[in-house]
């Protein structure tokens, strides 16, 4: 019996133009009526996710900032921020490397100090609450920082992921997209968020389903009894998971959820 479904957004549920398929809202309503809790699970901030899912915001659970923050009906179920000491060190290391631009992702707002394009445009487009400041160090202590999103103007897999993990040994650095890496607390990821959700709601692993397309989804996928990646998934993740579904352009998440619901009805 399926009781919980978590889906990554960019590259997984979202269409190629980075918008939600309209069919997701009636499907979430149907899942809710069936007693199945749906969760968008993303590197995006809570404000942005709540805006995206506004028509059904009271019927979904939000796994935000790659698992560092979990919100349900306005209540914070989980928060795993980066310690202030490590934030200062991380900013120093990131700034010392060319082609990298850091963003501090707070519980309520994201902060940037660079105005170079396309970083500035991407930041303002992807984060509903985003503020330009003169110095990110001034933000430390203002609110809990869930993660540092690092934009790489070369390519994250070819550049920052090869150097940042060694420079930031007390933090977790993971690929989150073609030109982004995310730096978080060492024990913060989407898999940890899933474990919290299972504990709070009493879900068993085999009652949970997850969809994701990149390495920051790996822990979430393996924490759920059923897990799938779209055909367009990052090849190394695709190889690790093995179970595929149609691409995000084809509506793979919607197709697979319908298949799973039908199997459940038929008792397969």
What is the DSSP code string of the chain? ---EEEE-IIIIIS-TTS---TTHHHHHHHHHHTT-EEEEB-SS-HHHHHHHTGGGGGGBEEEEGGGTEEEETTEEEEE-PPPHHHHHHHHHHHHTSTTEEEEEEESS-EEE----TTHHHHHHHH-SSEEE-S-GGGTBTTB-EEEEEEEESS-TTTTHHHHHHHH-TTSEEEEEETTEEEEE-TT-SHHHHHHHHHHHHT--GGGEEEE--SGGGHHHHHTSSEEEEETTS-HHHHHHH--EE--GGGTHHHHHHHHHHHHHHHT-
Q: Could you report the per-residue pLDDT of 175-232, keeping only the tens digit for each?
A: 988 999 999 999 999 999 999 999 999 999 999 999 999 999 999 999 999 999 999 9
What percentage of the chain has pLDDT greater than the value 70? 100
Domains of the chain, CATH where assigned: 4-79+188-266 (3.40.50.1000), 84-184 (3.30.1240.10)
How confident is the model over 57-67, as a mean pLDDT? Answer: 97
Q: What is the pLDDT of residues 68-126, one digit of tens each?
A: 999 999 999 999 999 999 999 999 999 999 999 999 999 999 999 999 999 999 999 88
Residue range 145-169, pLDDT digits in tens: 999 999 999 999 999 999 999 999 9
What is residue 264's predicted lDDT score, i.e. its pLDDT? 84
Q: Rounded to two decimals, what is the model's pTM?
A: 0.93
What integer pLDDT is reported at residue 189 of this predicted model?
Answer: 95
pLDDT above 70 (res 268):
no
């Amino acid at each position: 019996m399926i009781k919980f479904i978590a889906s990554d957004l960019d590259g997984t549920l979202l269409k190629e133009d980075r918008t939600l398929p309209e069919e997701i809202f009636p499907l979430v309503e149907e899942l809710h009526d069936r007693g199945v809790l749906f969760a968008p699970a993303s590197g995006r901030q809570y404000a942005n996710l709540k805006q995206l899912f506004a028509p059904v915001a009271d019927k979904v659970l939000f796994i935000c900032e790659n698992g560092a923050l979990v919100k349900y009906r306005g209540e914070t179920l989980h928060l795993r921020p980066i310690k202030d000491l490590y934030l200062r060190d991380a900013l120093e290391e990131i700034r010392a490397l060319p082609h990298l631009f850091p963003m501090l992702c707070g519980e309520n707002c994201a902060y940037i100090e660079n105005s170079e394009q396309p970083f500035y445009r991407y930041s303002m487009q992807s984060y509903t609450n985003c503020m330009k400041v003169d110095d990110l160090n001034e933000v430390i202590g203002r609110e809990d920082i869930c993660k540092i999103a690092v934009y790489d103007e070369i390519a994250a897999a070819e550049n920052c992921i090869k150097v940042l993990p060694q420079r930031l040994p007390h933090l977790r650095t993971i690929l989150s997209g073609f030109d982004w890496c995310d730096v978080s607390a060492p024990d913060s990821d989407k898999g940890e968020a899933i474990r919290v959700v299972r504990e709070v709601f009493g879900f068993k692993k085999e009652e949970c389903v997850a969809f994701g397309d990149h390495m920051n989804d790996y822990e979430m996928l393996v924490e759920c009894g059923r897990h799938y990646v779209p055909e367009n998934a990052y090849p190394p993740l695709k190889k690790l998971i093995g179970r595929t579904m149609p691409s995000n352009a084809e509506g793979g998440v919607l197709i697979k959820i319908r298949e799973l619901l039908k199997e459940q009805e038929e008792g397969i």
